[in-house]
Structure 1
Amino acid sequence: MHAGGTQVRIRLSNAYGSAPVRLTGATIAQSTTGAGVQPGTVRVLRFGHGEQTVVPVGRSVVSEPAALRVTALDALAITLYFKTPSGPATFHQDGLTTTYRADGDHRYDLGSASFRGETSHSRYFITGVDVSGAGAPPGAVVAFGDSITDGHGSTAGADNRYPDQLAELLLRSGRHVSVVNAGIGGNKLLADSPCYGERAVTRFDRDALSQPGVRTVVVLVGVNDIGAGGYPDYFGCGASREVSAPDLIAAHRQLIRSAHRVGVRVVGATVTPMKNFTGYYSAEKEAVRDQLNSWIRGGGEYDAVVDLDRLLADPKDADALAAPFDSGDGLHLNDAGADLIARAVSRALR
């Protein structure tokens, strides 16, 4: 959790389901190790007047607030129980935190004994946890983008994605604001994908501007449009069309206009180096990245700019990611790279 308070509620989505999702019940608690929770902290989550709810196809639901004291950086455990099969799940693939699955109703289990079966690093149905009450921050920063924001390449289970590290920096500096991670690995600015979500220009209002208390959005997106441009098959998810710098600039302007229309400040981040990521680099693609970054850097349309391109580049090759920040594939950042982004973004925030 990036924020503290005295009440919590969860948001569930069936945006991509094929049938209504019937949730029998849910609990939330302070987490310990594995699937365990702290005794005395388990709270029943209610929806309206009951514990059960139905999430219609293409819709979402929000639980009633439950009284649970939370401190910023606490870990919470949410347990969802489905008495009958849920059907295809709306989920976040690269969650980087362990999810445990087991047969039966284990909402009130304190230990991990029942959860010795399937695990994953994905999150199912849950799209957010809202905190309110005494101590809750008055506003939020939304980190919006693709796998760089999502945290791919950082250490799983360590909460070292750049938005996590940004939250820690803000907390240590006394700035009372929460950070929301709205990154999706593989996401594009201009094209939908059956694997990597709706295009950024489509999901921006829902995933960024509709977050409770949003004050600032940090936009870092475009590398997948550029690097995968011209692929006959984008990692098993269909053809990927080539894009031009003017196409991408127009889309960034659309995001800026949408944010300003509702009084939200928007920070633009230049697209990070991609030279050594297999299949993403060519002289033509690099020219598109350079043109887009030049506009972000000097166009004067973002309220502030974080120049990650120059910050993360190899001193000997400006098109390549510097080795100290490389997770190993030439594109995604390790924990040190995520920390560097967090520090740069924190300086751009008011």
Structure 2
Amino acid sequence: MRSPHHSFPRRSLMHSAKPRPPRTTGRRGMLAAVTALLTALVVSAAAVAREDARQQPRATGGPVWTGAWGTAVQRPVEGSEDKGPNWSRQGFADQSVRQVVRVATGGSTVRIRLSHTYGTTPLRITAATVGRSAGDAQVWPGTARELRFGGSQGTTIAPGRDAVSDAEALSTSPLEKLTVTLYFAGRTGPATFHRFTTATSYRAAGRHLSDSGGDAFQDATNAWYFLSGVEVSGPATPRRGTVVVFGDSLVDGTGATPGADNRFTDKLAERLVADRRPLDVVNAGIGGNRILNDSPCYGDKAEDRFRRDVLDRPGLRTVIIHLGANDIGAPEMGDPCMGSAPRVTARQLIEGHKKLIRAAHARGVKAVGATILPMKGALFPVYSERGEKVRAAVNHWIRTSGAYDSVLDVDRALASPADPALPRPGYVVEDGLHPNEAGSHAIASAVDLNAL
């Protein structure tokens, strides 16, 4: 929403009857029978190996990278009253930007991913560092590591492209916070960014890449700039991989306490760590995002950003998808920042979901469908009786069609026992729609970890 914002498919290994040996006698007949049986076993083993290779990250002798943290990027846009100020339109010049992120799992080496998706001129990154967060804009002394790009101190990123730093030796622990500091000597122009975060980014005049103190970083906003991923490498275990949660403000974290890491994706990461499952969680939510239509302020439509924000993540195993609420509610909002806001049908939304499922399956990625949250209790205009019928129809399809590999029933996790169209009292923030910490806990608890 706009911010104020099953089971697995069966593996079908063909089980045919055992090969019947040719009707021969003696040693030649026995040899033929053994040869036929061994051939059948080799073919069967090869089929299982191909299936297993499709399901598991490929180990090629090099490091196995996974997305320990990530965000979805957006076009530069002015700040607003509910989103707060940001620096995306003005960009940066002779400034250092320090951004704080929490990684889901640990590793022995780290690298960062930078996005210039919406740039119109080449972007020069003069230098960058990564280190352990000591709170606010501070870095633990002695932990800042200079990042290189193809062996060089900085890099230039062409418009519409990404850049990935070289691997840097920095051991990380599950759920710890890191700081990434970027220095821009020249003008960047407008910045590709993520508009709404529950974390704080800091800005300082001049070059302050390795400062352990935060005194130089006097300016702050709740947005991320150019930084789209932090990736770690660790043991090449078959279970290691990335889970991307793709969606709208429910995923993005509207209603979560700033700096507290209590979005439902954060709580899911904590469940995975507690259960000792080496799966990273990347949050690819954008507040206000829709399946069927772009928005000036709320990101490209889901189909257009799915490859970039989901499929291109390293080590991807599973995607969880929560979308459709803004498509349903946009006609009621009257929000110019939403752009085009046509009324949609359940069939249109279902077709949109099917496209995402097909794209995931084409990459061998499991797709988990999240039902749309209860909308009736919202204190801003988003609910209508017509829209509620569409929501119910889409949720019924997600639960029963079998199109998704598994279902996360967000609707039932949040719904009031007295009226399922309303959220459970105590599970939402003041806007009557988005989950608070208790609601986020309920959603994360409803995730079937074995489905990931």
TM-score by length of 2: 0.75
Task: Tell me which moved more, 198-207 or 71-80.
Answer: 198-207
1:70–1:135 distance in 2 versus 1, CA, 3 Å: farther
Instruction: Select 1:90's aligned residue among 185, 188, 192.
Output: 192
The question of 1:276 aligning with 2:377 is answered: yes
Report the alpha carbon displacement of residue 84 of structure 1 after superposing the two structures with TM.
Answer: 1.5
Paired with 1:165 and 1:156, the residues of 2 have a C-alpha distance of 15
The structure having more radius of gyration, on CA atoms, is: 2
The question of 1:328 aligning with 2:418 is answered: no
The question of 1:246 aligning with 2:347 is answered: yes
Instruction: Select 1:126's aligned residue among 221, 224, 227.
Output: 227
Paired with 2:273 and 2:387, the residues of 1 have a C-alpha distance of 39
| Aligned twin of 1:21 | 123
SS at match of 2:442: helix
| Aligned twin of 1:140 | 242
- Asked if 1 retains the 8 angstrom alpha-carbon contact of 2:332 and 2:383, the reply is no
- Asked if 1 retains the 8 angstrom alpha-carbon contact of 2:288 and 2:326, the reply is yes
Runs of 4+ aligned residues of structure 1 deviating over 3 Å after TM superposition are 133-137
- Asked if 1 retains the 8 angstrom alpha-carbon contact of 2:128 and 2:183, the reply is yes
The question of 1:51 aligning with 2:136 is answered: no
| Aligned twin of 1:341 | 443
Paired with 1:239 and 1:230, the residues of 2 have a C-alpha distance of 12
| Aligned twin of 1:7 | 109
Report the alpha carbon displacement of residue 13 of structure 1 after superposing the two structures with TM.
Answer: 0.6
- Asked if 1 retains the 8 angstrom alpha-carbon contact of 2:408 and 2:448, the reply is no
| Aligned twin of 1:115 | 217
Instruction: Select 2:266's aligned residue among 164, 168, 172.
Output: 164
SS at match of 2:354: helix
- Asked if 2 retains the 8 angstrom alpha-carbon contact of 1:230 and 1:239, the reply is no
- Asked if 2 retains the 8 angstrom alpha-carbon contact of 1:166 and 1:346, the reply is no
AA aligned to 1:271 is: I
| Aligned twin of 2:88 | none
- Asked if 2 retains the 8 angstrom alpha-carbon contact of 1:6 and 1:135, the reply is no
Paired with 1:268 and 1:236, the residues of 2 have a C-alpha distance of 27
AA aligned to 2:372 is: V
Report the alpha carbon displacement of residue 249 of structure 1 after superposing the two structures with TM.
Answer: 0.4
CA RMSD of aligned residues (A): 1.5
Instruction: Determine which structure has greater relative contact order: mean sequence separation of CA pairs < 8 Å that are 6+ residues apart, divided by chain length.
Output: 2
| Aligned twin of 1:176 | 278
AA aligned to 2:328 is: I
| Aligned twin of 1:69 | 171
SS at match of 1:240: coil
Report the alpha carbon displacement of residue 252 of structure 1 after superposing the two structures with TM.
Answer: 0.6
Report the alpha carbon displacement of residue 346 of structure 1 after superposing the two structures with TM.
Answer: 3.8
SS at match of 1:64: coil
Q: Percent identity of the aligned residues?
A: 48
Paired with 1:201 and 1:163, the residues of 2 have a C-alpha distance of 21
1:176–1:268 distance in 2 versus 1, CA, 3 Å: same
Report the alpha carbon displacement of residue 335 of structure 1 after superposing the two structures with TM.
Answer: 1.0
Report the alpha carbon displacement of residue 19 of structure 1 after superposing the two structures with TM.
Answer: 1.8
- Asked if 1 retains the 8 angstrom alpha-carbon contact of 2:182 and 2:209, the reply is yes
The question of 1:41 aligning with 2:164 is answered: no
Paired with 1:293 and 1:57, the residues of 2 have a C-alpha distance of 39
AA aligned to 2:447 is: V
Paired with 1:98 and 1:300, the residues of 2 have a C-alpha distance of 40
Report the alpha carbon displacement of residue 182 of structure 1 after superposing the two structures with TM.
Answer: 0.8
Paired with 2:282 and 2:215, the residues of 1 have a C-alpha distance of 32
Report the alpha carbon displacement of residue 276 of structure 1 after superposing the two structures with TM.
Answer: 2.3
Paired with 2:435 and 2:401, the residues of 1 have a C-alpha distance of 27
Instruction: Select 1:236's aligned residue among 333, 337, 341.
Output: 337
AA aligned to 1:101 is: R
Report the alpha carbon displacement of residue 349 of structure 1 after superposing the two structures with TM.
Answer: 2.4
SS at match of 1:166: helix
Report the alpha carbon displacement of residue 135 of structure 1 after superposing the two structures with TM.
Answer: 8.0
SS at match of 2:367: strand
The question of 1:258 aligning with 2:359 is answered: yes
- Asked if 2 retains the 8 angstrom alpha-carbon contact of 1:305 and 1:348, the reply is no
Structure 2: 5+ residue stretches without partners:
1-102
1:206-247: CA deviations, max 9, x gaps? 21122111111111111000011365x435342311110000
The question of 1:151 aligning with 2:253 is answered: yes
Task: Tell me which moved more, 301-310 or 124-133.
Answer: 301-310
AA aligned to 2:369 is: G
Paired with 2:125 and 2:449, the residues of 1 have a C-alpha distance of 42
- Asked if 2 retains the 8 angstrom alpha-carbon contact of 1:153 and 1:332, the reply is yes
- Asked if 2 retains the 8 angstrom alpha-carbon contact of 1:147 and 1:184, the reply is yes
Report the alpha carbon displacement of residue 115 of structure 1 after superposing the two structures with TM.
Answer: 1.1
Instruction: Select 2:304's aligned residue among 202, 211, 221.
Output: 202
Paired with 2:359 and 2:338, the residues of 1 have a C-alpha distance of 28
Paired with 1:205 and 1:325, the residues of 2 have a C-alpha distance of 32
AA aligned to 2:179 is: A
- Asked if 2 retains the 8 angstrom alpha-carbon contact of 1:230 and 1:241, the reply is no
Paired with 2:207 and 2:449, the residues of 1 have a C-alpha distance of 46
SS at match of 2:447: helix
1:250–1:348 distance in 2 versus 1, CA, 3 Å: farther
How do 1:188-227 residues align onto structure 2 when only pairs under 5 Å count? Answer: 188-227=290-329
1:135–1:256 distance in 2 versus 1, CA, 3 Å: closer
Paired with 2:338 and 2:306, the residues of 1 have a C-alpha distance of 21
Paired with 1:28 and 1:77, the residues of 2 have a C-alpha distance of 6
Paired with 1:239 and 1:262, the residues of 2 have a C-alpha distance of 31
TM-score by length of 1: 0.96
Paired with 2:104 and 2:363, the residues of 1 have a C-alpha distance of 24
AA aligned to 2:240 is: P
AA aligned to 1:320 is: L
